[in-house]
Structure 1
Amino acid sequence: TGSGVSMGGASLASLINAPIEFYTPEVLPGPPAANGSRFALYDSQSAAEAGAGGPQLTYVTYFAGPVRGLAPGTPVQMKGVPVGRVSDVRLRYIPQSATLETPVTIRIDPRKLQLPVSDFATIVDLRAAMNDALQKLVYKGMRATLASSLVLPGASGVSLEMVGRPGTAHLVMTEPPIIPAASGGAGIEGALTSLNQVAARIQNLPLEEIAGHLRSTAARMDTLVNDPALRQSLQSLNRSLAEIEKVAVLTRENVGPITQSLRNAATAAETAAGRANQLLATAPQQNYDLGQLIKELTRAADAVRALAEYLTENPDAVLKGRGK
């Protein structure tokens, strides 16, 4: 599915005798259900838990780029914690600008943010409290991003992350309210989009493109900071990237040189990110762009190292392409 691989199952006997299994939770607050009550059936246990009572407040966000794999039911997260689900994904043409945008409707459970739901007399009051909380978070930099898997292509959900510049956006009080999306093309969101585009085309192992994305990130970092140690680390990274491009042309039939070059590039990227992080910690004022590039370079290094490990375990991928 768009949210990744999910497996589940009951006992062997239940699989043989009946396709549906029921169970009763140990803790049941409230009185027993009356005879004749109707109960909704869900596609999975996680979907049932997400839809088990309580208010779900609706919001929308607009992504300008592709949302491959995003579908109703995929999770919405804050700091890695599930807080809701995607309820609708659409495509809209804007005649004024002759562009396409993707409105994504999400539903957030206020209980996941520990809001005292029972303290509010009406859903209007609860909505006002939730809007106030999100308004403050958006002002501090929270944006809607596509939660991405660097192993499986496509979006695995929506993530509300602190990736925007503080004070540059607000919650738009329409119906439903609009949570601004992270800007694409630059910073961490643009980097992840670029890396996922590479991952989506990994069947042909475009090692040259991976090197190009890393080199672009290193070049942007070099323009921000004038530091000899950092420049030396970036030069080492560029040498490793050149080696990747070289072995990609000469030795595609031999996985050994390719994986070693990928590991070297990952190590060089991690070293550069570490030095940049030291500079950021001692800087007299916060450098937002450098902080974003450090995150970008670190994530890219993790992705390259993961690819090296994958090729080590699956050497046939060099010839056959990576399995889907």
Structure 2
Amino acid sequence: MSKQANPTVIGGFVLGALTLVVIAILVFGGGALFRERVPMVTYFPGSVQGLSVGAGVQFEGVTVGRVTGIELSFSPDTGIFSVPVTYEVWPDSVRVLGAESDDSPAQILQRLVKERGLHARLESVSFVTGQYMIALQLVPGRPPRLIKDPEDVVEVPSIEATRDRMSEMLENLRLDDLVNEASLTLASVRQLIGSGEMLRLIETLNATLDEARILFGDLDREVQPLARRMDSTLEDFSAMARAVQAGVVPVTENIETVTEELALLVRRVDEQVVPLSGATLTALGEVEGAMRSLGSLTGDASGTRVRLDRFLVEASAAARSLRDLADYLERHPDALLRGKR
């Protein structure tokens, strides 16, 4: 008869297994179960094919969160389908520098949306697998267009993905018109070739090339004589320049010589003016002395006085003339050489 299993032992094994599972989750999950999360949502207008739950959320190439849910919404009033994608952002994956703010991570994200233009876009992870992720980026100057702006979740406006823009461009591209225009162009080319115009055009082009070749040959033959004539002309100009230079140097030397002689003459005249002025002043002093001597004779007979008066008048005139001469010589010292003008 077999022995009945002990329930206490079985319970101990179960508790130990659960403990090992919790420890493994904490170790290999890096504490993801207890990290802080900020719920966010973005309403994508186009297709989200390739995006799956668990896909990464990146900002500037750094993973800061993951996708938690993908839904499909329809508004009967507008008849518009939208795809709300919910995801979470981990604040502890971003290191904040500087002074800490009193705002919560959700409030900081809402301010980034309204003030800095935070948007979400679908970007391809791999062209081979076709997987997509959500990329957050700042678009300054672009006003946010929020659909619901819920209070418990941070809504981030979306930017059209690259594949959606390419799809729209391809849809707007009228391929039928392009094919028709290409067919008409080919038909016109075929008609041009079959009409013989192309052959005549080629013949005309060949004739033009032959004439150009002849013209180039003529120019080539004329280049060497022209170069020789230019060399001769340049030599003539060089000879003329040398002759002009040879004539200019003596003239310059003569000008310098004349300038030196004029300077010497001016110095000599200056040296002669000072003694002449001194002699003139001495003569004036003697004339004044003679006049004082004559003045002492005014007490004699009336005839002598009359003659003395006449003499004094003439002496005064002579004194004024000498004084005028002295003043003129001081103002015009070169008058002794050139004479009065």
Aligning the two structures, in what range does the TM-score lie when normalised by the shorter sequence?
0.3 to 0.5
Structure with the largest fraction of helix:
2
Which structure would you say has the larger RCO, counting Cα contacts within 8 Å and 6 or more residues apart?
1
TM-score, normalising length: structure 1: 0.39
